[in-house]
Amino acid sequence: MFDRLRSFVLVTEEGTFTAAARRAHVSQPALTAAIARLEEEIGARLFHRGPGGAQLTAEGEALLPRARAALASVEDGKRAVREIAGLDAGEVRIAGGATACTHFLPRLLARFRAAHPKVRLILREATSDGVERGLEAGDVDLGVVTAERGEPWLDDELILVRSRHVDAAGAPFVTFPPGGTTRTLLDRHFPEARIAMEIASMAAIVAHVQEGIGIALLSRHAVRQELESRVLLRVEDPRTPIVRPYRLVHRGLNRLTPSAAALRELLLEERSAARAVSGSSRRGARRAPSASIGGRSR
């Protein structure tokens, strides 16, 4: 059954039986026979085959997420047994958005590596939807997302920033392409915004804002150093800061390998520490240098 489910998923990913057979390193007749046996066991036809390739039937659509989950469970079990048996040092696959991967995770992953030097860490940058798809496919163990589901982790704040030489009033925006959380929040809270540039790189956005191309809605963490050095100024606007909660997602505590469970514990420790710091900073923190929407520095 395992091999037949894997063949089924490969056909859906490749689009044709020929391409799926090539990827699986089997002959096409062998893969076709495997799908036929799976359809016999399921009691339903799973694909429509035509000139355009193999298209899932309604029954196939219903089976696909469950097939992926079953395959992921088997792989999780193999990895957990290897770790417990000491056959290898383990592996953790983690995914998150650009801000999380650049500004929240590096220090924590370095701490984890120092404590578990033989565990292999694999970090992938992805949107929240991409993280969810990775979990479903079994390609991700832990994810950092801005979706509503998951374990509460850290809060991020999005603020407006500008160059010292730019008047924020009427300035266009430099932002991410559509699809990411930051862009979605910009479109929601600033529907009147004129977009000057759409750039996938956080560093590139900061660089263009510094050069006076426009203003940007960015994570406070991403521009902390620029604010402290006054290379960038905060733009005061009643719609900001926009709080963006991050959450940890996985396929269930009982499905985490020992290494992934250890990383989750470390990340949750950071949540507790951040809350303690946040509570004290609210009582005595100084505000970063800022500018009003009309260009007045504060």
The pLDDT of residue 257 is above 50: yes
Average pLDDT over residues 138-157: 92
CB-based contact 142:264 (threshold 8 Å): yes
pTM: 0.64
Mean pLDDT (the chain) is: 86
pLDDT at 289: 41
In this prediction, what percent of the chain has a pLDDT beyond 90?
57
Same fold, 2-74 and 84-151+245-283: no
Q: What tokens does 200 get? A: 């996938």
Q: How confident is the model at residue 140 (pLDDT cuts 50, 70, 90)?
A: very high
* Polymer length in residues for the chain: 298
d(CA 224, CA 160): 12
CB-based contact 121:74 (threshold 8 Å): no
The pLDDT of residue 292 is above 70: no
Radius of gyration of the chain, Cα coordinates, nearest whole angstrom: 24
pLDDT at 278: 52
CB-based contact 136:68 (threshold 8 Å): yes
Average pLDDT over residues 226-255: 94
- From the list 7, 2, 19, the residue with the least C-alpha distance to 46 is 7
Query: What is the fold of 153-244?
Result: D-Maltodextrin-Binding Protein; domain 2 (3.40.190)
Judge if the upstream peptide bond of residue 106 is cis by omega within 30 degrees of 0: no
Average pLDDT over residues 66-95: 76
pLDDT at 89: 67
**CATH for the stretch 2-74:** 1.10.10.10
pLDDT at 298: 32
Which of these ranges, 18-32, 75-89, 132-146, has the smallest mean pLDDT?
75-89
Domain range list for the chain: 2-74, 84-151+245-283, 153-244
Average pLDDT over residues 104-126: 92
- AA letter at 229: S
Sequence-ordered list of residues with C-beta below 8 angstroms from that of 74, at least 6 positions apart, any chain: 2
Per-residue model confidence as pLDDT tens digits over 5-47: 989 999 999 999 999 999 988 898 989 999 999 999 999 999 9
Tokens 């770790």, residue located: 83
Query: What is the fold of 84-151+245-283?
Result: D-Maltodextrin-Binding Protein; domain 2 (3.40.190)
Q: How confident is the model at residue 87 (pLDDT cuts 50, 70, 90)?
A: very low
